[in-house]
Structure 1
Amino acid sequence: MKDAVAQGTDELFTAIYEGEDDSVVRLLRAGVSAHAVDEEEETTLHLAAVQDLPGIVRLLLAAGADPNRGSGPDQGELPLCAAAVWGHTEAVRALLAAGARPDAREEFGGTALLWAAGNGHADTVDALLKQGADITLADARQECPLVLAARRGSPATVRVLLEHGTDETQRRAALDESRKWLDVDIAEELETGLLRTHGDGHESRTRRLAQQDGTGIVMVELLRDGEPFAGHERETGHRAIVALLEGELGQRAE
């Protein structure tokens, strides 16, 4: 039988997975550590951030969970980045309010702002910048958040970054990036990238979603036995981004 500590830890992770705030409170009050990790070395706080559970994030922080503690076997995954990559803005705000470092880098060099910008989460980008995230920090390929947002095709995210201040070099790089996508078949490009990563021979599925701002999202998934096992998506706002950046730079469309 499992000892009481291990059982309590298992119960806490189950409560987080199921989003049961009351159970989390009960277990923390019973002495289960907010610093607990599961068999894969994932921390409770990282899991709550991934699951978009800002209430539980706050409970764990109040119980002493470290907002800057890494998760995973190499402790290379940060809860702030986990929330940012999925656009979980309230969890991001809770972590920042508790002292999460906005520019902390994960194992492979990503920051919360780079993740949020690259995935088109404008509200999350805004929250991070308002709490001091550095808009100039680049990723391992020396690409800044504005370039990543331009590649994503997210006009809303580009607007937020421009409002917070970007220099001319960043704007020109982002303009060059967005122009590259004007005549690209996004679905075909995404499928090619997925097959390059996972190997040829997989069935694929493409979905297109409309957004309120008039742009769309193209989603491509690879299927195994009819079920998706890998996917990627991109927005279709590159033309709008070109117009935005040309306006900022005083250029005319080519």
Structure 2
Amino acid sequence: MTENRLVSAAGTGAAAKVRRLLDGGAAPDQPDDGGTTALYRAAVQGNADIVRMLLAAGAEPDRESEGESEGLPLCAAASWGHLGTVVALLEGGADPDRTEGPGRQAMSALHWAAAKDFPAVVAALLDRNADPDLRDGAGGTALTHAARYGSAAVVSMLLDHGADPAVADEQERLPIDLAREFADRDIEAVVHDRALEYATEGARITVRREESEGGGERVVAEQRDSSGRLRSESVLGTGHAEIVRLLEARPARA
């Protein structure tokens, strides 16, 4: 497989090398043999300065990377909570409402940020006029994702930006229904059981609580193999009851 030096340098954060390669005529959108672009690699790693370099050199902000399990640079940055990179891509012309993924898996950057509880990224996208009621491939919205996760901070922000709590997904579930599903449950037990579903023989599962970016609390269950290597992670917030209260107090749009 032929190495694409620009893609490699973008992924490792070697800004000076990226600059030299671009100045030397490297095509900013040329993917490597696996289909990965330099912009995607920089975005998923949160290398905002390199993202800006590539965009200034003519990289297309909405070009999907075609490597395995890859997609839009903006979605990649949003799903990892890389705020500076999200802002760089938006300023470079990335469409906040563009979705990645086929069929029912299609999601936008706002869906990803809401689903993974990154309030600052959600705010940046909404400030760039991301549609709070945009549906994903399964008919849900950012509000659906935030309610399921348990992020009261994101739900509150979406409501303040006009998100409609009466938009149901393809299974006719409203955001409040998803929040109620977890409001009275033991979240530690829920994430432990989710991690257990993917556990391999000899795996060890640990559960911890930690502060989330939005000031709330989240519960994390890690599955590690016998050598201590992380194999999977299941995460949920603990704000479901507060979300129910927020949604009960916010009438649906007329």
TM-score bracket relative to the smaller structure: 0.7 to 0.9
Verify the 8 A CA contact 1:202 1:224 in the aligned structure 2.
yes
Q: Which residue of 1 aligns with 2:229?
A: 227
Structure 2 Cα separation of the partners of residues 58 and 245 of structure 1: 39
* Deviates further, 15-24 or 104-113: 15-24
1:165 aligns with 2:162: yes
What is the CA–CA distance in structure 2 between the aligned matches of 1:212 and 1:89, rounded to whole Å? 12
Gaps of 5+ in 1: none
* Aligned counterparts of 1:176 and 1:136: Cα–Cα separation in 2: 17
- Quick one: percent identity of the two aligned structures? 39
Per-residue Cα deviation, 1:8-64 (whole angstroms, up to 9, x for no partner): x32x33432332222211121112221132342111000111111111100000111
Partner of 1:247: 249
Query: Given residue 92 of structure 2, which amino acid in structure 1 is its aligned partner?
Result: A
In the alignment, the residues of structure 2 paired with residue 214 and residue 75 of structure 1 have an alpha-carbon distance, to the nearest angstrom, of 31
Helix, strand or coil at the partner of 2:206: strand
Aligned in 2, Cα 1:132/1:222: closer, same or farther, shift over 3 Å? same
Corresponding residue number in structure 2 for 1:21: 15
User: TM-score scaled to structure 1, two decimals?
Assistant: 0.86
Verify the 8 A CA contact 1:69 1:75 in the aligned structure 2.
Answer: no
Correspondence for 1:117 among 99, 105, 114: 114
Alignment partner of 1:141 is 2:138: yes
> Conserved in 1, the CA contact under 8 Å of 2:115 and 2:146?
yes
For residues 79-99 of structure 1, the C-alpha deviation after alignment (integer angstroms, 9 at most, x for no partner) is: 111011112122122212222
Q: Is the 8 A contact 2:10 2:39 kept in 1?
A: no
Q: Which runs of 5+ in 2 are unaligned?
A: none
Task: Give the TM-score, by structure 2 length.
Answer: 0.86
Computed over aligned residues only, the root mean square deviation of the Cα atoms, in angstroms, reads 2.5
The aligned residue for residue 154 of structure 1 is 151
Q: Once structures 1 and 2 are overlaid, which stretch shifts more, 162-171 or 216-225? A: 162-171
SS in 2 for 1:64: coil
How many residues end up aligned between the 2 structures? 244
Contact map agreement 2:200 2:225 (CA 8 A) in 1: no
CA contact (8 A) 1:45 1:57 kept: yes
Q: Are residue 86 (structure 1) and residue 80 (structure 2) matched?
A: yes
Q: What letter corresponds to residue 53 of structure 1 in structure 2?
A: N
Cα displacement string for residues 169-228 of structure 1 (whole angstroms, at most 9, x for unaligned residues): 149922222122122122322232233345676321112113486521111111112221
**Aligned in 2, Cα 1:92/1:227: closer, same or farther, shift over 3 Å?**
same
* Higher relative helix content: 1
State the AA in 1 paired with 2:143: L
Where 1:209 maps in the other structure, the secondary structure is strand
Find 2:28's aligned residue among 21, 27, 34.
34
Query: 1: CA distance between counterparts of 2:175 and 2:24?
Result: 52
User: How far apart, CA to CA, are the structure 2 residues paired with 1:134 and 1:184?
Assistant: 31
